[in-house]
Chains A and B, each alone.
Chain A
Amino acid sequence: MQKNMNKDMNMKTPYETARNCRHYAMCKIDFLGSGVCDSGLEKHFVSFYPQGRMILYEALSENKIPITEKCVEIADSCNLCGKCDYQCYFLNEMRPTKVMEALKNHVDSFIKNGGKVKPVKNDIILDEIKKIVGENWATNDEAITITYSHDLSPVSEPKIPDYIVLPNSSEEIASLIKLFNKNKITYTVRGNGQNLLGFAVNEGVIIDLNRMKTIEFDEKNWCVKIGPGVVAFDLQKQAMKRGFRINAGEPAALVCANIMCSGIMSTFSTTYGINADNFINAEFVDKEGSLFNLNDVSSPNLYSYKNLEHKNSPGICVAAYIKLHPVTDDERGILVPFQTLENALSFIKECSIRHIGLALGIVGAEYISTFLSPTKKSALEIKNIFIDKLDIPFLVVVVGDKFAISAICEMGFPFFDQRLFNALYLGLPSLKSAEWLDLIKELSDDEPYSYLRIKSFADLLETALSPSPALYSKEIDPELRPFFEKLFSRKEMTDLVWLTMFRIMTTRLGRKNPFLPLIVYLPIDKDLISEISGRFKLIADKYNVDNEFGFITPIDNGKRCIFEYDYFFDYNDPEEIRRIRLAVTEANMLVDEYSVKTGTVKGLPYVLYQGYSRKENLLYS
């Protein structure tokens, strides 16, 4: 088997596909309504999901592990249904099924050729763990442990844990902690391995919380009690069914882990807040294996905030009571274009101060084009069109009720409404050949985007772009096209409110390359943000790191905002890893510098494990 193949060979072979898996765990949630890998749902270990099989195949290809009993089971458990192709292609333009097939063939050939499958080794600690969680929910098999060996961070080195355990209750977790303490075994709690700072890997035990997925609504008290294995997408879906909304992070992020690590942030944070704004209570198993909840007067005060980098974890969150928010039937999404970041900032600040809109977020051309485009190639073309032809380097996404939308009309900002968005989105391929775009730009000469004020512009745009699911899908691999045509016929797939709530497009940002977001809390100060943004760019350019403006969301009535700037890297290229580490270190130092200088700027590393703190303590102390 091969390693370090030429980058041009990307995705041509199962091995290349496997080693380019983004590890976003999106294959663990049914975000397209096409189903999730059956074996994953049954076995729960990540190895039984496409993501795990990709990692496993990569490891086998590189002879990192032998073929073990679990490896055979994992390979056998895939029925090559192809669901993962739909999901992974949607996000990353990858087709994992060929990896699944290669894995099966690899294991089959090994067995047919008389290869000896490595049996599970006996282990006293493992036996003890199994006594707590049951025979099926703990293992030291290398085919499983290897799939928990890294997270999304370019900073962390991969570590292969000794054991993986999947508890199903807080009592089991408490017993496990006592066992680990007694035997001086280190452990790390893992959700879906999305930690960006390298805290989801460990050489001891990984506690995977994915079996603990209970969701109990308490509608009269406007909250929902969730287990630590509940992912944002599933919770949002359940809340929506009941006519509510939660403030949710990335779709595959575990909600409790998300709160623990950084606090939940989204464009809805404009209204719903961050950190402690998002929950009513939370239950924990502490480091001694004892239970506590935040409402106990004797509990540690997790609502406080200390300006410490990498503060220790307060324990394992085993349940959280998440706030439910009301939804009205007149909510709509719009996109407000801006020629400059400064103007977009003024707009979101104004809206936030005046409480206009439920969700607000500035996105740059990279985000816009990546979210909208079905392929990488298309995203690049669309990005250029947005910047050069439409003169839209920035868009503000707004979700609001009819009063919010009419207020924005009254403020005099032209915008893309849902109908225009549909035309633009599903007519994207036509946009590339639309010569009339040059004229559109000239129409904006006196007033930017004044064409959006033309009453029948939507009609014209629809005529010009002929938007349809079929058109949108024409750049997709032919075998997958019928599925995607059906998918994009579904209303929610183009509904700005749904897309903003469920955030399935945001994961597409990693399609070009994995990325590391630099997240900063700071005032909505045009000069300050431009300065920091410019310096993030300078640092990245210095280290030859691909970089882009990410997004900005106002919080706390426009007093502060969350600003994300993204550094992209190829995690298969050691040189790029080296450079991004240097760039990130320097960028974090820059944030520290501004933090000291202004007293109002905070970087994400200082929020780690303090997601339960009151936002006031985080932002203003």
Chain B
Amino acid sequence: MASMLLAGYRIIVLGRSNREETLNERIFKLLRWFGIEELADQLELVEIDLLKPKLGLAETVYKQVCEKTEEIIHCASDTSFSERKRDIVFKSNVASLDGILQFAADSKAVFFHYISTAYVAGTGITYCKEILSVAKTFTNVYEESKAAAENIISGFCLKNSINLSVIRPSIVYGDSRSGRSLKFNALYFPIRSAQSIRDIYLNDLNNNGGIKAAKNGVYLDKDGCLFLPLKIYLPKKGDLNIIPVDYFVNATVKIIENCSGSGIYHLTSNSPATMKIVAAYYQQLMKVRGVEIIYGPQPENLLQNPAEELYDRFIEPYRPYLSDNRVFDRTNTDLATDNLHPPEFTYEIFKNCLEYAISVNWGQSIF
């Protein structure tokens, strides 16, 4: 949104309030965070309910919004991986499409841009083409719902002669230059988990004599580094396909500006990182030793220390993404973005991102 405002676009934000804030408060908070409050007059905010006919708007308002709309970017989704939340996730990501698609048709929008995920490719596939997913099995309900959504949107747009661009990022982290980010899930979660375990033992060592730490082989070495024995098992050797948010934004804007017809675009990295790299960066930055990434199945009757057992639980939902063999076709993307690629995930980028995350307490004191 910020990039598009800076590029001079006028944007109608169709959204809703949450329990704590109105839509207005939410958006203006974001503008302040981006430092572009002066561009507020390029924005129009409309409170809607995707599950209601005509988005829950009065007929006249609905018509007015339709008349003003040229292109639609649909980026709302429930990113929960939890199977227990299947109904909620499908309601948010699939059932709610009717309203916005009808709006696209009613407004005679020339383009519908849908922010999806590269992982609609599903499991059991190694080369993921920029085509609609035909996968039958997925890692989680989020992937499944996004794949279902893509198919519904695609069918609707085809039938109603609306151009569709499906933008499929892999895992998005903070800004590669400043480290700034609004969300601290995905890549951040395994790091934050390690950080929490580190803090628990550091506190024990610094304030409680470190008896518990010692019992579990955790100690401060002579260089002041925390030795934290943490063996992390990942099922197979593989990559961690991550892209910074600045790349995601720039590439998306280019796609929106450059594409002339329907297309699917993978915003992914051709030189993905690995958990070994992330672990090494983490240890270097946080003065930790003892973290070990082991590729291969966990031995039977594996004896884990408490930190390992907890960490294992922490990363469980993310594990499939931490050692991934999928390779993503970028033919459409390279064409539409003039070969714009994400930067290599360097120690500097990692440092910026993690320092920012810690400075805003993983998002809790961001605003």
Binding site for B on A (CB under 8 A): 435-436, 438-439, 442-443, 445-447, 450-451, 454-457, 459-460, 462-464, 466
Contacts of A447 in B (CB 8 A): 84
User: Does the CB pair A446–B82 fall under 8 Å?
Assistant: yes
> How far apart are B150's CB and chain A's nearest CB, in angstroms?
24
- Bound together, the chains give a CA A289 to CA B189 distance in angstroms of 76
Q: B339 in the interface, Cβ–Cβ < 8 Å?
A: no
Q: For the complex, what is the distance from the CA of A457 to the CA of B311, rounded to whole Å?
A: 11
Chain B, 328-348, CB within 8 A of any chain A CB: none
Give me 5 A-to-B residue pairs in the complex whose CB atoms sit less than 8 angstroms apart, sorted by A's number. A442-B314, A455-B309, A456-B304, A460-B200, A463-B306
Residues A443 and B83 in contact, CB atoms below 8 Å apart: no
Q: Are B204 and A463 in contact (CB under 8 A)?
A: yes
Interfacial residues of chain B within 157-178, with CB under 8 A of chain A in the complex: none
Q: Give Cα distance in the complex from A442 to B313, angstroms.
A: 10
Q: Is the CB–CB distance between B84 and A442 below 8 Å?
A: no
Q: Given A459-B306, A466-B207 in contact, is the A445-B362 Cβ separation under 8 Å? A: no
CB distance B212 to A436 under 8 Å?
no
Minimum C-beta distance from A452 to chain B (A)? 11
- Docked CA distance A466–B306 (Å): 15
Give the distance in Å from the alpha carbon of A439 to the alpha carbon of B361 in the complex: 13
Interface of B is mostly: helix
Report B-chain residues with C-beta under 8 Å of the C-beta of A445.
80-82, 84-85, 317
Across the interface, A466 reaches (CB within 8 A) one of B85, B204, B304, namely B204
Chain A interface, >50% SS class: helix
Kindly list chain B residues whose C-beta atoms are within 8 Å of the C-beta of A438.
362, 364
| CB of B284, distance to nearest CB on chain A (Å) | 22
Q: Which residues of B contact A459 (CB under 8 A)?
A: 212, 216, 306
Q: How far is the CA of A450 from the CA of B200 in the complex (A)?
A: 20
Query: A466–B202 Cα gap in the complex (Å)?
Result: 12
Most A-side CB within 10 Å, residue of B196, B304, B361: B196
Shortest Cβ gap from B167 to chain A (Å)? 26
Q: Is B250 interfacial (CB 8 A cutoff)?
A: no
A463-B201 contact in complex given A435-B196, A455-B309, A456-B305, C-beta closer than 8 Å: yes
B207, A442: Cβ atoms under 8 Å? no
Q: Is B4 an interface residue (CB 8 A)?
A: no
**Interface pair A457/B361, CB less than 8 Å apart:** no
Q: Report how far A459 CA is from B213 CA in the complex, Å.
A: 10
B residues 275-316 with Cβ under 8 Å of A? 304-307, 309-310, 313-314
Q: Known contacts A443-B314, A463-B306; can you find 16 more A-B pairs with CB under 8 A?
A: A436-B197, A438-B364, A439-B196, A442-B314, A445-B84, A446-B84, A454-B306, A454-B309, A455-B309, A456-B304, A459-B216, A460-B307, A463-B213, A464-B203, A466-B207, A466-B208
Closest to A456 in B: B306
Q: In the complex, which of the residues B199, B203, B310, B314 has the most CB atoms of chain A within 10 Å of its own CB atom? A: B310
B192 within 8 A of partner (CB): yes
Measured CA separation A50–B39 after assembly (Å): 68
The answer to whether B123 has its CB under 8 Å from any CB of chain A is no
B193 close to A439 (CB less than 8 A)? yes
Least CB distance from B301 to A in Å reads: 13
B310 partner residues in chain A, CB cutoff 8 A: 451, 454, 456-457, 460
B258 to chain A, nearest CB (A): 38
Annotate B88-116 by CB proximity to A: 1 below 8 A, 0 otherwise.
00000000000000000000000000000
